[in-house]
């Protein structure tokens, strides 16, 4: 669990220390500020991106879950293309 803001100005200006912090925290890290899970290790991210049955994007590819709240934009044909329902 981290109380860090990957979208803060400091981290957007120089993201590398934040990336290292995320990798050192573990394979999956809960970001308290946004109440989301994050992954930063190449092996784990690659595994998630290539396993569409476990990790689907049809519910939204951002911080919002399209099943739980109204999306602020229409679902993208590229980002939310998974047909697996989760």
Domain boundaries of the chain, sorted by first residue: 9-40, 51-86
Is 46 within 8 Å of 39 (Cβ atoms)?
Answer: no
Other C-beta atoms closer than 10 Å to the C-beta of 53 total 8
Stretch 27-39: mean pLDDT, rounded?
Answer: 91
Burial zone of 38 (CB within 10 Å; 0-12 exposed, 13-18 middle, 19+ buried) = middle
SS3 state of residue 47: helix
Across the range 51-74, mean pLDDT stands at 74
pLDDT at 20: 95
Looking at residues 11-16, what average pLDDT do you find? 95
The neighbour count for residue 73, using CB atoms within 10 Å, is 9
Give residue 48's pLDDT band: very low, low, confident or very high (50, 70, 90). Answer: confident
- Asked whether residue 69 carries a pLDDT value surpassing 70, the answer given is yes
**pLDDT band at 55; cut points 50, 70, 90:** confident
CA distances from 39 to 19, 25, 26, 45, 77 (A): 10, 10, 8, 6, 24
């Amino acid at each position: 669990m981290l109380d860090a803001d990957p979208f803060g100005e400091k981290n957007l200006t120089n993201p590398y220390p934040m990336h290292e912090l995320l990798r050192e925290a573990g394979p999956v890290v809960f970001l308290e500020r946004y109440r989301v899970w994050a992954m930063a290790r190449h092996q784990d991210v690659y595994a998630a991106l290539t396993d569409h049955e476990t990790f689907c994007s049809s519910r939204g590819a951002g911080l919002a879950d399209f099943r739980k709240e109204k999306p602020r934009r229409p679902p993208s044909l590229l980002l939310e293309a998974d047909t697996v329902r989760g």
